[in-house]
Structure 1
Amino acid sequence: MVIHRIRRRIVERFMTFEPIGLLLFASLAGGLFLFASLTGLVLDGGMHSFDEMILLSLRKAGDLAVPIGPNWLTHAVGDITALGGVTVLSLMTVLATIYLLLARQRAIAVFMLFSIIGGWLVSSLLKLGVARPRPDIVPHLVEVHDLSFPSGHAMLSAVTYMTLGALLSRAEQYRSTRIFLIAAGILLTLMIGMSRIYLGVHYPTDVLGGWCAGATWAVACWIVARRFISSRPDPVEAPAAH
């Protein structure tokens, strides 16, 4: 009887979606389709010429070890790509979790932490499943060792920053701050992904795949949070009577 009531409640929640909920579901389905299609093309080798053209266009024709643009741009891109590293992402996740706990948003904090950890595990499994080697078309400007598709920096930054933006925004009172947090997460994700192409350590399709997979994961977490995670702060416990 209890299981029946729980099942009915879940069905009722999904049957009462507002337009934004339907848009999120459409984004989720579209993201899954795009990632599956892109993975198929990568496995068949159908995108190699596209990848090669983009990587070569970002290097000087006479010396493929030298990227286009001024010297400061290479240093700036190196700093940007570090924002998608495990160290920085872990630090951001821990700080955001502590912030939500201090703001008495325990449910959102716990859900956000496990959502990000789950996304990282999915990224590792996808890399092992596709097992695409790193590009050797141009020299790498930073040291890398693992597999290539999907880009870990692109996917993990999407999982982390977009999930942080979406879930942190639920604790904000004003719409402007909610929009800013989500937009900041998207901007960081795009910049980090593009930096991996510029540095020559990922094919463009690696980054596209990472963006699709990471954004799809973030949207799925956002859908679950909107339906089942309360955005109200935890009640303050009254002091014990003496």
Structure 2
Amino acid sequence: MLTSLWQRLRADFAMLLAFLGFAALSFVFLKLASEVLEGETMTLDRWIITGLRSADPTVPIGPSWFETMMLDVTAMGGVWGLTLITLFVTGFLIVARKYATAGFVALSVIGGALLGTGLKALFDRPRPDLVPHLVEVSNASFPSGHAMNSAVVFLTLGALLASTHRSRRVRIYLISVAVGLTLAVGFSRVYLGVHWPSDVVAGWCIGAAWAILCWITARLLQRTHQIEQPGAVPVEEEGGPP
């Protein structure tokens, strides 16, 4: 009984911390958005972007292989890259017979993508024009779609997959990989000259806030058995256990 009570208290404390994280990230995004609208971030934005270019503004700092790597990294945060990753993860969950979790994952990612599209249309910030863009872009700049969508997809998938495992090491690994990929994609957008740094930070904040909200929702749904519990193994439909 004491063990069960302790586990419930730990779970409630984790939920409280997650909610505080969601509130903090949402506040930072709103504060940053306000400063962007007032032009207060431009000095730092310009300094960082120009600092990532050599004496020739068409050439980024660092060896040529690093630029190639940044092009590959930024592709992972594009629409097709994130769509394929989402399909692979939902497919895995379906094969594992976690059908409700698979549906929740798909809805979480789609909802985050729609949120990002709406925010871009709302702020309609022009792209940086200080240095040549090293990849083609067409839509508005704030918040960074690659940074936000990467946070939405990688952090949401990492958190939801982690919530299906009881092993602490597995959960830490999944979250660490998700955070690393999110940071790498966001940095690549600034390095390639297609986003102001404030765009990327805002994308990280709102994307991470969305991921936390999805994690909280998933935990509540698990408690009410509307999606699969962590480590739950579905019963075989045919033949039963060997």
Scaled by the length of structure 1, the TM-score of the pair is 0.89
1:59 maps to which residue?
53
The answer to whether structure 1 residue 138 and structure 2 residue 131 are counterparts is yes
Q: Does structure 2 retain, via aligned residues, the 8 Å contact 1:106–1:234?
A: no
1:162 maps to which residue?
155
Q: Distance in 1 between matches of 2:136 and 2:19?
A: 38
Moved over 4 A (4+): none
Shift of 1:198: 0.3
The answer to whether structure 1 residue 236 and structure 2 residue 230 are counterparts is no
- Superimposed CA distance per residue, residues 100-130 of structure 1 (whole angstroms, 9 cap, x where no aligned partner): 1111111111101100000000000000000
Q: Secondary structure at the match of 2:59?
A: strand
1:149 maps to which residue?
142
Q: Distance in 2 between matches of 1:151 and 1:178?
A: 27
Shift of 1:18: 1.6
The answer to whether structure 1 residue 40 and structure 2 residue 34 are counterparts is yes
Q: Secondary structure at the match of 2:58?
A: strand
**CA-atom RMSD in angstroms:** 1.6
Question: Any residues of structure 2 matched to 1:13-24 within 5 Å, and which?
Answer: 18-24=12-18
Q: Distance in 2 between matches of 1:171 and 1:27?
A: 21
Shift of 1:179: 1.1
Of the three residues 170, 177, 198, the one matched with 1:205 is: 198
Shift of 1:238: 4.9
Q: Does structure 2 retain, via aligned residues, the 8 Å contact 1:89–1:160?
A: yes
Of the three residues 84, 89, 96, the one matched with 2:82 is: 89
- Superimposed CA distance per residue, residues 72-124 of structure 1 (whole angstroms, 9 cap, x where no aligned partner): 11001111111101111000000100101111111111101100000000000
Identical-residue share of aligned pairs (%): 47
Structure 2 residue runs without a partner (length 5+): 1-8, 223-227
Equivalent residue pairs, number: 225
Of the three residues 86, 98, 105, the one matched with 1:105 is: 98
- Superimposed CA distance per residue, residues 180-214 of structure 1 (whole angstroms, 9 cap, x where no aligned partner): 11110110000000000000000000000000010
Q: Distance in 1 between matches of 2:62 and 2:122?
A: 36
2:187 maps to which residue?
194
Structure 1 residue runs without a partner (length 5+): 1-14
2:23 maps to which residue?
29
